[in-house]
Structure 1
């Protein structure tokens, strides 16, 4: 568990995924990728395998949000592991539909 702040960069311990925190609620959260806790960028990755339950992958350039959109992450480097927050998967943010002009 760690307190997340905007601008913090994290990396996966089991794949190539890297994310940046964009929006946060200021609370403590357990951020994981591929089933393993995400690490600070300066930390050495212990390695390991991606958990098959969290192997949907993450895509560079996509924004990922929790269910109520109170936390948002930008994927800066994609990988094989999928992201989760406090045990629940977080999904890619959907683009808002533009208004039609007639």
Structure 2
């Protein structure tokens, strides 16, 4: 699937919902808990969770992979972990503010 900026994706194994903030130029597989995420309006069949990928997502956190050029914003947390093409997506760290004089 080729995600689009602004697209909402929901997990098929838990309550996780994300919004695509930055999308890659190539097709990728975005998973949560080991099962592919889907458009919440598509009525996708429930997936099977992979217990090794159930570390959870955090509300309001951004998950990103700069090499792939993807960034997701978690709008509803759940028990599954986010991954792209089988690689876990880490929480994006905050940038340090410049020192003021």
TM-score, normalising length: structure 2: 0.91
2:56 maps to what in 1? 57
Shift of 1:67: 4.8
Q: CA RMSD in A?
A: 1.5
1:48 and 1:11 map into 2 onto residues whose CA distance is: 11
Unmatched runs of 5 consecutive residues or more in structure 1: none
1:84 aligns with 2:88: no
Q: Which 4+ residue blocks in structure 1 deviate beyond 4 angstroms?
A: none
The residue that corresponds to 1:32 in the other structure is 31
Q: If each structure's strand is expressed as a fraction of its own residues, which one has the higher value?
A: 1
Matched residue, 2:21: 22
What is the number of residues matched between the two proteins? 101
Q: 1:42 to 1:55 in 2, by over 3 A?
A: same
